[in-house]
Structure 1
Amino acid sequence: MSADQQARPADQQSRPADQQSRPALPTTPVRVVVWYRAPSSDAAAVETAYHEVSRTLEGTPGLLSNELLRSATDKASFAVMSHWESGQAFDTWERGPSHQASTAPLVPYLDRAPDRRFELYEVTAAY
């Protein structure tokens, strides 16, 4: 065993190098929430992109469901909440080759600076 392997905890020794600094991911179900903001001139754009992405993701291993939520107080604010069979299943998909292409229609609407801890959302659509 190398000196590097001896310095790492046993659970990290068998993981690939790019995952060794990451905490172990849950093997239990998780929800992933991503926030989006619609352009003021086209609030339906996020909904259209969501439906396109959801059709592409249908049958993705580990993805149990997803919902498009729209803020009850800010009609331009949306969130997608996806339900995964485990954190590991989500991580496998996120690191996989199809992740970026399959979610590309929603990328222009990412809300990169949510300044809220809590928001009330209405379910707009679900698969």
Structure 2
Amino acid sequence: MISVANRIHVKLEYHDAFEARFRDRAGLVDGMPGFIANHVLRPTRDGDPFVVLTFWESRAAFEAWTTSDAFRQGHARSGTLPKDAFSGPNVLEIHEVVAR
């Protein structure tokens, strides 16, 4: 199993809109083979990023998602926030889960 953490720096005034994007998401990832779970973590300190954390059965399953039509459709919806809502580039981290 792997985890994928996408750290996204969002300006404070856009936090509510960013969270709404995930509450109202299309949910296309939920039906992907190998998908386990999706969590959106809100920062508790100013300046820290949101973390969109997904779990996958394998790296191959995650990579299949990123090259799928469902991925493109789901992320096309994310254009609802202006570029200036983000205070820095996203950082993507992939880890193997070694203990639960």
TM-score normalised according to structure 2 size: 0.68
Cα distance per residue 1:42-97 (max 9 Å; x no partner): 32111111123363322222110011011221277311010001000001111112
Structure 1 position 100, deviation (Å): 1.9
Alignment equivalent of 2:89, drawn from 101, 106, 112: 112
Matched, 1:103 2:67: no
Amino acid at match of 1:88: A
Taking the aligned partners of 1:42 and 1:53, their CA distance within structure 2 comes to 17
What's 2:49 paired with?
A: 77
What's 2:36 paired with?
A: 64
Amino acid at match of 1:57: V
> Which structure has the larger Rg?
1
Higher relative contact order (CA 8 A, sep 6+): 2
Q: Is the contact between residue 4 and residue 55 of structure 2 (CA under 8 Å) also seen in structure 1? A: yes
Q: How does 1:11-50 map to 2 (within 5 A)?
A: 29-50=1-22
Taking the aligned partners of 1:85 and 1:106, their CA distance within structure 2 comes to 25
TM-aligned CA distance change 1:51 to 1:60, over 3 Å: farther
Aligned length, in residue pairs: 86
User: Tell me, which stretches of 5 or more residues in structure 2 are unaligned?
Assistant: 92-100
Taking the aligned partners of 1:54 and 1:101, their CA distance within structure 2 comes to 9
SS state at 1:112 partner: coil
